[in-house]
């Protein structure tokens, strides 16, 4: 399985100049990714596409210092819950690669790097999950020298990376089966290839469903204030020729009321034990609208997004970001100087609005406390 996957990955992401076609799932229809891997390891460096520049410029950051990796996560050059987990894993591999310390000094450096990476963004549990996994691998190799530790950590980061793509593909196929043929689907934010190691969670479901004739059109919320929908989701879908219509966030209710949307599919940054779902700000409003209009509201996320230690959405930390994301656009001020601003980056959709949660192992439905635990333990 691992070997087959590695071979796939070679072909899957072979650059944008002359992008190679990739067979996806069971269908002969090709999935042609818009970009090289969201994040990858190349010649002792972490390479990632700078998502702040998309869709106008396709630029890659080559980072040789774990502090720069942390800054890239904090400043959202890379974003999306699984993608930041994978990036942090590579960042920790890099921290040991770049170090000259041995023994206790290496342990201290590794811990400092882990803490720095963990301090970048608070809501996506995938970040902490990936760091914990790297910590466990580091501890397991404590008796070996730095070169062996560096090799082991890189292998672990690559495994996290590969497993994430495999999880997205599996949940894509499972989630696609939930949609009726020809569905018109609304999505919010970007839960696509760019938000993961590849293929996407919500966009993975949409990709597989489109391949199977189950999606005829995707309505893309622009997703204020950072515009992940307008910039990233629209770009991914447009590149692949999946019919997509961009709307501003406040148009969703109108389209639902007119019968132009059949289902909603979104990703998640953290799912609490009771099925409450944290996702990009605005998701909650979409879920309430979906319920009002009798539309299914599906969440797609890997098991690494489950936080079963967190009883409910109330305990999920919600990141507040800089006021400039709201007051400015493209570096230009839109709002009056001195105006008070709130900028919560995520909201919580209570489980009662969630029709189903799709992960790589299956589909959970209410009551979520038992269905999520069963999938997590599977």
Nearer to ligand MRU, 82 or 296 (CB): 82
Measured CA to CA, the distance from residue 223 to residue 230 in angstroms comes to 7
Q: Which of 274, 279, 327, 355 binds ligand MRU (CB under 6 A)?
A: 279
* Residues 68-74: contacts with CB under 8 Å, at least 24 apart: 69/94, 69/117, 70/116, 70/117, 70/119, 70/120, 72/48, 73/117, 73/120, 73/121, 73/127, 74/120, 74/121
Q: Does 38 bind ligand MRU (CB under 6 A)?
A: no
Identify which range of 88-96, 193-201, 208-216, 237-245 contacts ligand MRU by CB under 6 A: 193-201
Nearer to ligand MRU, 149 or 233 (CB): 233
Q: How far is the CB of 46 from ligand MRU (least distance, A)?
A: 17
Q: Which residues are catalytic?
A: 269
Binding residues for ligand MRU, rule CB under 6 A, total 17
Q: Which of 122, 198, 267, 313 binds ligand MRU (CB under 6 A)?
A: 267
Q: How far is the CB of 258 from ligand MRU (least distance, A)?
A: 26
Q: Which of 38, 40, 120, 196 binds ligand MRU (CB under 6 A)?
A: 196
Measured CA to CA, the distance from residue 5 to residue 360 in angstroms comes to 16
As beta bridge partners, residue 49 has: 60
User: How many CB atoms sit inside 10 A of residue 13's CB?
Assistant: 21
Q: Does 25 bind ligand MRU (CB under 6 A)?
A: no
Q: How far is the CB of 190 from ligand MRU (least distance, A)?
A: 6
Q: How far is the CB of 33 from ligand MRU (least distance, A)?
A: 15
Contact 84, 127 (CB under 8 A): yes
Measured CA to CA, the distance from residue 246 to residue 223 in angstroms comes to 10
Measured CA to CA, the distance from residue 80 to residue 73 in angstroms comes to 9
Spatial CB neighbours of 359, under 8 Å, sequence gap ≥ 6: 167, 171, 300, 301, 302, 303, 305, 306, 375
CA 182, distance to chain mean position in Å, is: 25
Nearer to ligand MRU, 248 or 370 (CB): 248
Nearer to ligand MRU, 228 or 327 (CB): 228
Q: How far is the CB of 81 from ligand MRU (least distance, A)?
A: 4
**Which parts of this chain interact with ligand MRU (CB under 6 A)?**
79-82, 124, 189, 191, 195-196, 201, 228, 267-269, 279-280, 345
């Amino acid at each position: 399985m691992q070997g087959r996957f590695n071979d796939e990955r070679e072909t899957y992401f072979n650059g944008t100049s002359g992008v190679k076609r990739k067979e996806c799932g069971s269908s002969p229809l090709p999935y042609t990714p818009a970009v090289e891997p969201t994040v990858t390891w190349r010649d002792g460096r972490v390479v990632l596409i700078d998502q702040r520049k998309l869709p106008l410029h396709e630029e890659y950051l080559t980072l040789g210092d774990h502090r720069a990796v942390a800054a890239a996560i904090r400043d959202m050059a890379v974003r999306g819950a699984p993608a930041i987990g994978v990036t942090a894993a590579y960042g920790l591999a890099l921290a040991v690669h770049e170090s000259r310390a041995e023994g206790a000094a290496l342990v201290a450096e590794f811990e400092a790097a882990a803490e720095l990476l963990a301090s970048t963004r608070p809501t996506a549990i995938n970040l902490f999950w990936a760091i914990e996994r790297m910590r466990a691998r580091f501890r397991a190799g404590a008796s070996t020298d730095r070169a062996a530790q560096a090799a082991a950590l890189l292998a672990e980061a690559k495994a996290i990376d590969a497993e994430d793509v495999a999880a997205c593909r599996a949940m894509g196929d499972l989630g696609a089966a939930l949609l009726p043929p020809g569905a018109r689907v609304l999505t919010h934010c970007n839960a696509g290839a760019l938000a993961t190691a590849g293929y996407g969670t919500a966009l993975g479901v949409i990709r597989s469903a489109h391949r199977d004739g189950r999606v005829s059109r995707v309505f893309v919320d622009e997703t204020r204030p950072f515009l992940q929908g307008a910039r990233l989701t629209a770009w991914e879908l447009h590149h692949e020729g999946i019919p997509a219509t961009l709307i501003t966030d406040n148009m969703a209710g109108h389209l639902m009321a007119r019968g132009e949307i059949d289902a909603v599919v979104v990703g998640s940054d953290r799912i609490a034990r009771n099925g409450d779902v944290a996702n990009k700000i605005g998701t909650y409003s979409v879920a309430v609208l979906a319920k009002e209009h009798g539309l299914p509201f599906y969440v797609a996320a890997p098991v690494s997004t489950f936080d079963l230690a967190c009883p409910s959405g109330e305990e999920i930390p919600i990141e507040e970001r800089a006021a400039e994301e709201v007051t400015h656009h493209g570096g230009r001020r839109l709002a009056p100087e001195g105006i008070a601003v709130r900028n919560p980056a995520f909201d919580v959709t209570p489980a009662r609005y969630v029709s189903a949660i799709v992960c790589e192992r299956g589909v959970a439905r209410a009551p979520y406390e038992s269905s999520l635990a069963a999938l997590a333990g599977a």
